[in-house]
């Protein structure tokens, strides 16, 4: 259905972003400070979006555990369950990253909207895949370049200064 190189590209985008951030040691801009709860909720929301993609494009990878196969089948039907399984975590990602400057948040929201629109409305698969790739690149860039976890100190990590 979808060529292997496409999935390699998506994994590569995330890997390059993470590697760059680890090499740099700090974000390029100190725009978003996430608490531990926000970090966990954001990671779970992104994982839910990935699970939606896996259910749609790689159903053989869905483990045959409990209700997972029937949930994946409901997602593939693109009905109300699929809509909720996509839009709910997409909205959570936007809520978690709400402190981004509005151009970055709007760009991410537009990407997530494009993915949803091309999935649930009759668009060619190539348009949907392009929307996914673009949104993965946007999310990878935003998260790896601008998000900083709060430290354990009571007032947060005040020692990090943004790169100007």
Domain boundaries, the chain: 4-149
pTM comes to 0.82
Please say if the pLDDT value at position 161 is more than 70: no
Q: Which residues is 33 bridged to in the sheet?
A: 148
pLDDT higher at 19 or 153: 19
Return the pLDDT at 76.
Answer: 96
Q: Region 39-58: what's the mean pLDDT?
A: 94
pLDDT in tens, 50-60: 999 999 999 98
Q: Region 148-160: what's the mean pLDDT?
A: 53
pLDDT in tens, 5-17: 888 888 888 888 7
């Amino acid at each position: 259905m979808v060529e292997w190189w496409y999935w390699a590209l998506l994994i590569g985008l995330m890997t390059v972003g993470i590697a760059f951030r680890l090499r740099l040691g700090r974000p390029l801009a100190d725009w978003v400070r996430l608490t531990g709860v926000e970090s966990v909720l954001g990671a779970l929301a992104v994982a839910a979006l990935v699970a939606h993609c896996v259910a749609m494009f790689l159903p053989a990878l869905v483990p045959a555990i409990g209700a997972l196969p029937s949930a994946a089948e409901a997602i593939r039907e693109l009905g109300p369950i699929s809509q909720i399984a996509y839009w709910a975590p997409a909205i959570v990602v936007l809520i978690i990253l709400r402190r981004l400057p509005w151009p970055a948040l709007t760009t991410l929201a537009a990407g997530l909207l494009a993915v949803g629109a091309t999935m649930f409305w009759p668009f060619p698969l190539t348009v949907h895949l392009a929307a996914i790739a673009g949104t993965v690149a946007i999310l990878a860039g935003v998260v790896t370049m601008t998000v900083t976890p709060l430290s354990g100190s009571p007032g947060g990590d005040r020692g990090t200064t943004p790169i100007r």
